[in-house]
Structure 1
Amino acid sequence: MSMTTPPGWYADPGVPGGERWWDGSGWTAHTRSVGAAAVPQPYQQGYQQPHQPPYQQAPQQPPPAGRSRSMVLGAVAAGLMLVAAIVAGVTLLGDDGTKTVPRSAPTTGEPAPGPTGGSDDETPTAEPTADPTVLVDQLNGITLPIPDDWEKSDSIVDRAVTMTTVADYECPGQKSRYCRYGRVMSSTATQTDAATPEALAKEDIQDASDALYDEDSIGNAYYGGVTSHTVVKSGAVTVAGRTGYLVRWKVKTGSGPGGYVQSLAFPSTIGAESLIVVRFAFDADPKGPPLSGMDTITKGIRAIGDTTGGVGSSIGPS
């Protein structure tokens, strides 16, 4: 024989500490707190004064199909109020009566730190600020000193890292463009059969002259093209502890005062010791950098990690 739970006040399955009226077939919207004074039970058809059934007959869990819409809304509202209280960082009182703030509530106007994705030891740190006095060629493992009144360039020419004078002027061959008084670029020597720094420097100087003072890769002749050149210096030189070689030309151009171009070649300090070539271009204009700056930069080239000097040399435009 099946047993039907009679109507009465039972523990509210949706609100701890409360009671809800069971009408014999389902939960109703009538609720009260546990221990509240006796109040008349809701009128239900067939029961004028239902009595409280023995506790052993009361359902321990709510009947699956009897939960009313009001009961569900009440549970959801209670849950939302709890979440809102946690997010807002409700002020709590400690054992000593002082106010404490939950850890979930930030104590400053700055956002709380997010997850780091690992242990405390793996917390990433900000990259150090790049040294404005050093041009770093990571590929070739060297640094070059950036002189006063020079700056690193964002321009990448033939995969080279580049620095230029800060000052510029209207190009003598194309007034609508602007040229720099000095340029230096470092790159790995490619597409060459040169086996020694001397062979590479002597081979590269013509290409350097063409690229820096004659025409660029799309035919722009910012200096009116190179009309002639004179060798002003060549010979072995020590670069970053390695024996290198340099060739320097003075070039005349179709427009403007011309300039000096230099190819410096030396073995890399890392890897398979491939050859590095550094190209220099200093305008012969009185506002251009002094020619001695080429030697100063050459002497200041270092292997990455070598901090024995060579930075911040004063060879800016005169």
Structure 2
Amino acid sequence: MSSPASPPPGWYPDPKAPSTERWWDGAAWTQHRRQPQTPVPMAPQPSGGGRGKVLALAAAGVALVAAIVTGVVLVVNDGSDEPEARTATTTAAPETSGPPTQPPTSSAAPSPTEDASRATDQLNGITLPVLDGWEKAKYVADHDVLITTPLTYTCPFDDGVCRRGTVATSTVTGTDEKDLADLAAKDVADAADLAYDTNAVGQRPFGGMKSHKVVAARQLAVAGRAGYLVRWKVTTAKGPGGYVQSVVFPSSVGSQALVAVRCTLDASPEAPPLADLDRIVKGIRPLGGAGGGGVGSSVGPDD
């Protein structure tokens, strides 16, 4: 008997905090949370007369059910005329980290029609092209990663597996900086450290990053909005080194928070062509719309 299909991406009650909603990406819970967008209707207040009595009795019934759920009253006779009432402690149900079991709330983001040629970041309101030689991310620990090259290989230094290329998206947080060029420069440095120097679990897949060179830094249009791109070429102690790129631009949804799209690509004959990084950025679109064009929309490869 086959297992039930996983619920589609959307906002669901957080299993660890049911009063909030948490984003389920279709395979696992992410760290994105929000307050429910639709207020919970208030129960009607008793207004006297027969209807008020019925509502009061209903409330009393709910309280009784709650008492039964939270504890069981045990009557113990110790030989005296008065029974001793003792409340047995109940064990709370363990928290679950599995998929949600109820449908999305009425304010859940709509699930787009599945399109193998595009990857969707609903939180930041964009879609990205999945080019030949790439695929939607599968079996990756970082939920920000949307697209990867399909095959892995043994990392040349520390134990582990590496990929020839990745594309990740995130919301820019933790800073008041508004200058897109500065933000892209800082983000590409962080991305290079994680990809080619020391990763999130303290490993050095390539033995560390020896040097880097800025090979592109320019303004361009992303999803119809002005953004900024910075690309590094990095040299590593082991392996072929690679390219790291960060593009920062305003989202077209919500509060128009800044979005960062990070790309990494090994400088290896087995990796996709470097021009793919430009094609990916040029193909970013607002969710549910066309977009594109504008300042710097004609992007060519850089070495």
1:137 aligned to 121, 124, 132, which one? 121
**Secondary structure, counterpart of 1:212 in structure 2:** helix
Deviation digits for residues 241-277 of structure 1 (CA, Å, limit 9, x no counterpart): 0000011000001110000001110001111111000
How much does 1:308 deviate?
6.9
2:215 is the alignment partner of 1:258: no
Normalising by structure 1, report the TM-score: 0.54
2:284 aligned to 294, 298, 301, which one? 301
- Give distance in 1, aligned partners of 2:185 and 2:120: 25
Q: Which residue of 2 aligns with 1:213?
A: 196
Q: Which residue of 1 aligns with 2:161?
A: 178
Deviation digits for residues 190-241 of structure 1 (CA, Å, limit 9, x no counterpart): 1123213222101212111101111112211111111100010101010000
**Secondary structure, counterpart of 1:198 in structure 2:** helix
- Give distance in 1, aligned partners of 2:117 and 2:292: 11
Normalising by structure 2, report the TM-score: 0.57
Closer, same or farther: CA 144–178 of 1 in aligned 2, 3 Å = same
Closer, same or farther: CA 161–138 of 1 in aligned 2, 3 Å = farther
Letter of the 1:209 counterpart: A
- Give distance in 2, aligned partners of 1:247 and 1:220: 25
**Secondary structure, counterpart of 2:181 in structure 1:** helix
User: Structure 1 stretches of 5 or more lacking a match?
Assistant: 1-126, 311-318
Give the conservation status (yes or no) of the 8 Å contact 2:133–2:272.
no
**Secondary structure, counterpart of 1:199 in structure 2:** helix
2:149 is the alignment partner of 1:150: no
Closer, same or farther: CA 270–309 of 1 in aligned 2, 3 Å = closer
- Give distance in 1, aligned partners of 2:171 and 2:191: 14
1:197 aligned to 163, 174, 180, which one? 180
Percent identity between matched residues is 49
Q: Which residue of 2 aligns with 1:228?
A: 211
User: Structure 2 stretches of 5 or more lacking a match?
Assistant: 1-110, 294-303
Q: Which residue of 1 aligns with 2:151?
A: 167
Give the conservation status (yes or no) of the 8 Å contact 2:170–2:260.
yes
- Give distance in 2, aligned partners of 1:249 and 1:305: 32
Letter of the 1:205 counterpart: V
- Give distance in 2, aligned partners of 1:307 and 1:251: 34
Q: Which residue of 1 aligns with 2:34?
A: none
Question: Which structure is larger by alpha-carbon Rg, 1 or 2?
Answer: 1
